[in-house]
Amino acid sequence: MRKTKVIISKKDLINNYNFIKSQTKVNKHIAIVKANAYGHGAIEIAKLLSQQGIYAFGVAYTEEAVLLRKAGIKEPIIILVQQAEEDIPDIVEYDLQPAVSTVKFLQTLNQVAKSNNKIIKVHLFIDSGMSRDGIASEDALDFVNQTLPLTNIYYEGICAHFASASLDPIFTRYQLESFNKAIFSLKENGINFNTIHTASTASIINYPETHFNTVRFGISLYGYPPDIQIGYKFKLTPILTLKSNISLIRKIKKGDSVSYSRKFIADRDTNIATVPIGYGDGYSRLLTGKAHCIIKDKLYSIVGAICMDELMVNLGDDNLEIGEEVIFIGKSENHSISADDLAESIGTISYEITTLIAPRVPRIYVD
């Protein structure tokens, strides 16, 4: 196994799951495991949450759902992104639940479902202000009325997504009002849903009125708040540690340069360690000149341009040994580096940092 690896704490995942559940008053919870569970390993995370009694899983694409089914996941799997008609045979075969926004897609889905003697559950996606997926609230009744005659389609759920539940209460409440109008219009006409879900991590904590009867857990499962400015409200623990080991150590002289483009030139004699991790593993090249790592409970600077497969660490006068453990995301006794820390240094979010970790980096799950 490669020295570079990701360690996932099963205990911390379950603790995060139980904490978020405690913040809700609903019995149905959807775990979002799209993008390989935000880089944490979708199949393994889904299996662990299945053992905890999760209601359903959410993914972005049909192929993600099929992988879960083939791995033995039996809970409902909701596909949150509008899928192409080419995906319909798999949706029917594997009993998936797509979020829907177009009549034509539903008509084709109905034809394939009928030919396979199946009823396919779908979720009506309402665009209440995100302007990304779904249909406008005011069009919901007409949309459903057009598609109710489709005999092999069953409207299991209705959903929406908030654009800024972390930081913008005015717009969030506008979106909620828009969604409620759609619900009211449909209910007045005798159209009800078993599963109503709008709340993801931020709105679970900030807006209890958005919980309805189902909520979605996303980044919080993996130990991060959706925005560091509201992190204090969350009792979460990051479940991922990214680490490697020193593969080489060399002494360079004052004036020597390190890595491509000579971005680092030593201002004195120093020891440089090479570590076998780079942007090919998802450790972004944008971190060049900005990132640190932890070795033997001490912070060290990463120097020179980050390469595809390796990076270099300035050890100064310290005499370390080949094989020493190097932590890039994680903690020691006195230091910690989180995905939020890395994200802040390059102007992105924790979601991207963990999701970028490449498949070639093995994931190891520990109790």
Active-site residues: which are they? 34, 260
Measured distance CA(315)–CA(167) in Å, rounded? 41
SS3 327: strand
Measured distance CA(236)–CA(233) in Å, rounded? 9
Structure tokens belonging to residue 76: 């409902």
Contact call for residues 317 and 238 (beta carbons, < 8 A): no
SS3 71: coil
DSSP of 141-192, one letter per residue? HHHHHHHTT-TTEEEEEEE---S-TTT-HHHHHHHHHHHHHHHHHHHHTT--
Structure tokens belonging to residue 43: 């199949």
Contact call for residues 124 and 158 (beta carbons, < 8 A): yes
Q: Is the dihedral of CA 113, 116, 119, 121 positive or negative?
A: negative
Contact call for residues 343 and 352 (beta carbons, < 8 A): yes
- At 345, the amino acid letter reads S
Which residues pair with residue 337 across a beta bridge? 330
Contact call for residues 26 and 339 (beta carbons, < 8 A): no
